[in-house]
Chains A and B, each alone.
Chain A
Amino acid sequence: MEDFDEFVRARGDALLRYGYVLSGNSEDAADLVQEALARLGDAWTRVRNKHDPEGYVRTTMVRLHIRSWRRRHREDLVAAVPERGEHDRYGDADLWAELQELPRKQRAVLVLRYYEDLPDQEIADILGVSRGTVRSQAARALDKLRIKRVLQEAR
Chain B
Amino acid sequence: MRGEQDLIRTLRTAAEQVERIDLAEAVAARRRSRRTRQRSRTLLAAAAVVAIVAGTTFALSGGQERRPQPAVTPSAPASITPAGKLWPQAIAKVPATNSTGWKMYPVTALSPTEVLLIANSAFEKAGRLEVYDMARKKTRVLGDIPSPRKKYYLQHIAVSSRYIAWYGETPQDPDKWADFWIMPRAGGTPKRLAEVAADVDRIGLTDDALVWSLKAGGGVYRMPLTGGSPSPLPGTKGLRLMSWPWAGGFASERPDANQTRVVNLETGRSADVSLPDQVEMMQCHAEWCTGIVDSRMVVQRVDGSARKTLPFELRPHGARWLLGDRYALFQVYEPDREKKGVPLGAVYDLATGVTAGLGERSGAPLGGNVGMGGSSSSPSLTPFWDADLQYYEKCGSGGCEIKGRGGGKEYTVVNLAAVTR
Interface residue ranges of B24-41 to A (CB < 8 Å): 24, 26-27, 30-31, 34
B255, A5: Cβ atoms under 8 Å? Answer: no
Interface of A is mostly: helix
Interface residue ranges of B61-83 to A (CB < 8 Å): none
CB closest residue in chain B, given A17? B15
CB closest residue in chain B, given A51? B105
Q: A2-B319, A10-B402 are in contact. Are A42 and B4 (CB under 8 A)?
A: no
B6, A95: Cβ atoms under 8 Å? Answer: yes
Cα–Cα, bound, A52→B119 (Å): 13
B18, A148: Cβ atoms under 8 Å? Answer: no
Give the contact stretch, choosing among A64-72, A73-81, A107-115. Answer: A107-115
For chain A, give the interface size range: 35 or more
Cα–Cα, bound, A58→B366 (Å): 20
B374, A50: Cβ atoms under 8 Å? Answer: yes
Cα–Cα, bound, A2→B318 (Å): 7
Residues of B within 8 A of A26 (CB): 17-19
B18, A16: Cβ atoms under 8 Å? Answer: yes
Cα–Cα, bound, A150→B319 (Å): 48
A145, B371: Cβ atoms under 8 Å? Answer: no
Report B142-179 CB contacts with A as 1/0, cut-off 8 Å. 00000000000111100000000000010110000000
CB closest residue in chain B, given A122? B101
**What is the distance, in angstroms, from B126's C-beta to the closest C-beta of chain A?**
7
CB closest residue in chain A, given B16? A17
Give the contact stretch, choosing among B45-53, B185-193, B224-232. Answer: B45-53
B27, A37: Cβ atoms under 8 Å? Answer: yes
Most buried by B among A41, A43, A148: A41
A13, B7: Cβ atoms under 8 Å? Answer: no
With beta carbons under 8 angstroms apart, the residue of B10, B45, B126, B154 that contacts A95 is B10
Q: Can you add 14 more A-B contacts, CB < 8 Å, to A16-B18, A38-B31, A52-B103?
A: A1-B255, A2-B55, A8-B23, A17-B18, A20-B15, A21-B15, A26-B17, A34-B27, A38-B27, A41-B27, A111-B11, A115-B15, A146-B2, A147-B6
Give residues in B with beta carbon < 8 Å to A: 1-4, 6-21, 23-24, 26-27, 30-31, 34, 42, 44-45, 48-49, 51-52, 55, 101, 103, 105, 118, 120, 122-124, 126, 153-156, 169, 171-172, 255, 318-319, 366, 371, 374-375, 398-399, 401-403
- Could you list 28 examples of A-B contacts with CB < 8 Å? A1-B49, A1-B51, A1-B52, A2-B318, A8-B24, A10-B366, A12-B24, A13-B398, A14-B401, A21-B11, A21-B15, A26-B18, A30-B19, A45-B45, A47-B155, A48-B155, A49-B154, A51-B103, A90-B13, A92-B9, A95-B10, A99-B10, A110-B7, A110-B11, A147-B2, A148-B1, A148-B2, A149-B4
